[in-house]
Amino acid sequence: AQTVTQSQPEMSVQEAETVTLSCTYDTSESDYYLFWYKQPPSRQMILVIRQEAYKQQNATENRFSVNFQKAAKSFSLKISDSQLGDAAMYFCAYRRGGYGGATNKLIFGTGTLLAVQP
Amino acid sequence: KAGVTQTPRYLIKTRGQQVTLSCSPISGHRSVSWYQQTPGQGLQFLFEYFSETQRNKGNFPGRFSGRQFSNSRSEMNVSTLELGDSALYLCASSLEAAGNTIYFGEGSWLTVV
């Protein structure tokens, strides 16, 4: 079974600084996708960034980028120039690829609560 | 374009009652998934539907059931409610059978007293 581990329950960063959130996963599959979701106090899950396992290039979305280390099964999220609005719970998630049956089932980590200090 | 809509947003039920939660996916999306979020267990997958067929089911008792209608709207039902069913229930939708973009609703807060 696939598992996702986030070992940092809480993190704090100063406004305008950079922070990295860690995520490791375990799977025996070669085809999969990884996601970072943000959950602000409103509790709506918002997709931050995604990475296809077959792509070697790390995904980036504006101030958000990932460091995807497939062999180490590591998928960290870097937030640059942190803003007050980045304060939220961040979840790392795994989705199996299409081989073996299409699915949108996400397996989530336990989350990292990010505080942004002004 | 409207997002994923969940109703009701908040509800309080008594132990032993049953509850039905509704989810309207983004227009055109045929995949709907449900998750339970609690402080103790985190985010747990309940079930997944695609074109009215249940494709996956999480490890929840039979009291938890769901269905998807021909217009892709989905409902989940919990019968014989227990205190431990108190949670935020999140619905997600996607256009594809294995979507790269999965959108979530704001959730339905269920409190069982």
**Best interface-test mutation with B: which of A36, A103, A104 has the largest number of B CBs within 10 A?**
A104
d(CA A88, CA A55): 28
φ, ψ for residue A106, nearest 5 deg: -105, 140
Instruction: Show residues of chain B in contact with A50, CB under 8 Å.
Output: 100-101
d(CA B48, CA B66): 9
- Positive or negative, the Cα torsion across B74, A51, A86, A11? positive
d(CA A63, CA B57): 36
pLDDT at B68 over 90: yes
Conformation bin of residue B28: beta by default, left when phi > 0, alpha when psi is -120 to 50: left
Which range among A84-88, B6-10, B23-27, B97-101 shows the weakest confidence by mean pLDDT?
B97-101
Cβ B100–A50 below 8 Å, yes or no? yes
pLDDT at B1: 64
A113 touches chain B (CB under 8 A): no
Work out the average pLDDT over B66-93: 97
Confidence of residue B81 (pLDDT cuts 50, 70, 90): very high
Q: Whose CA is closest to A13, among A109, A93, A78?
A: A78
A41 touches chain B (CB under 8 A): no
pLDDT at B96: 77
> DSSP secondary structure string, B41-84?
TEEEEEEEEETTEEEEE-S--TTEEEEE-TTS-EEEEE-S--GG
A116 touches chain B (CB under 8 A): no
pLDDT at B97: 66
pLDDT at B64 over 80: yes
Instruction: Show residues of chain B in contact with A52, CB under 8 Å.
Output: 100
**Which residues of chain A fall short of a pLDDT of 50?**
none
pLDDT at A27: 93
d(CA A9, CA A92): 12
* pLDDT tens by residue, B15-49: 999 999 999 999 999 999 999 999 989 999 999 99
B45-79: b or e for each residue (b if 16 or more CB lie within 10 Å)?
A: bbbbbbeeeebbeeebeeebbbebeeebebbbebe
Among chain A residues, CA nearest to B101: A47
Mean pLDDT of chain A: 94
pLDDT at A97: 81
Contact indicator for B87, B61 with CB cutoff of 8 Å: no
d(CA A49, CA A59): 7
Work out the average pLDDT over B92-106: 84
Work out the average pLDDT over B49-56: 91
Single-letter amino acid, residue B86: S
Contacts of A55 (CB under 8 A, 6+ apart): none
SS3 A84: helix
Confidence of residue B2 (pLDDT cuts 50, 70, 90): confident
